[in-house]
Amino acid sequence: MVQQQLLLLLPHPHHLLTAAATVAQFPRRRAKFLTLPLRCTGAPMDANPTTAIYPLHRCKTIYLVRHAQGIHNVEGEKDHSAYMSPQLFDAHLTPLGWNQVDCLHEHVKKSGLAQKVELVITSPLLRTMQTAVGVFGGENSVDGVSAPPLMVENAGHSSRPAISSLNCPPFLAVEACREHLIENDEDVLWEPNVREANSSVAARGMKFIDWLWTREEKEIAIVSHSGFLYHTLSMYSRECHPTIREEVGKHFANCELRSMVLVDTSMLGSDSPSYNYPGMIPAGLDLPSDAAP
């Protein structure tokens, strides 16, 4: 598989495509229908460009979500070492966490995001899967309606009704976007106090982003974990303006959602543009605009 060169499209010192020109660079044309004097100045366009342009069909929108509050968060706030507890490894959501899920679900519906998301990718841990189906899933299952539930009633100590798969995007649990790994390639547990290094988490996150680009969907939601999101985004924002780097590098709150644009800078392939139209030069005596006096 060809390695893609991807970035999150943020205000960035190395712009993808920039253009700046003064008025003097454009040919003068006779304005036949102007009755007022037209004053032009090239001063503002002489400044260094602060914007970037990139073809839409070479971009994706991703919606990054950290899971809602889990029981491990409650214990971890009391004693940080609790995050290493094997008993809390696959923690479920707290009642407060489910309230956070309900609030984000309403936001996603009211903002129109629910209609845009084509795929939901989630870490395979319980707290992320509960968050994913609670936020992006269908409404509660209805008797007499034949559709498999995304979550059965009371799943994971939730005391919640079943969540329907009606009118919602497909879901995919992916190992690559989980929290710090505690297993090696031989699927043998490491020592209890040893976790995946932060640099390895970031590298894994960037490979995961590369993989996202191979998907056909253009708008994808990802439900993951604080450490995974933080270390992955920190790698992408290293060369950003300090203000943007600080914004991107902040830790996610529980059930926080952030939108990012993913851009393929490798130019090695993309979908054909859906909205572009080639146009044509009309037949007849009309000259193309660049040949007009």
Q: Is 179 one of the catalytic residues?
A: yes
Question: What's the Cα-to-Cα distance from 48 to each of 23, 40, 238, 240, rounded to whole Å?
Answer: 16, 19, 21, 16
Question: What's the Cα-to-Cα distance from 242 to each of 95, 234, 246, 274, rounded to whole Å?
Answer: 37, 12, 6, 35
Contact 42, 246 (CB under 8 A): no
Q: Is 75 one of the catalytic residues?
A: no
- Among residues 72, 179, 225, 231, the one annotated as catalytic is 179
Q: How many residues are there in the chain?
A: 293
Partners of 119 in the β-ladder: 220
| Block residue for tokens 């499209």 | 9
- CA-to-CA distance for 220 and 179, rounded, in angstroms? 19
Q: How, if at all, do strands 59-66 and 219-224 pair?
A: parallel
- Among residues 67, 72, 105, 231, the one annotated as catalytic is 67
- Residues with a catalytic annotation lie at 67, 179
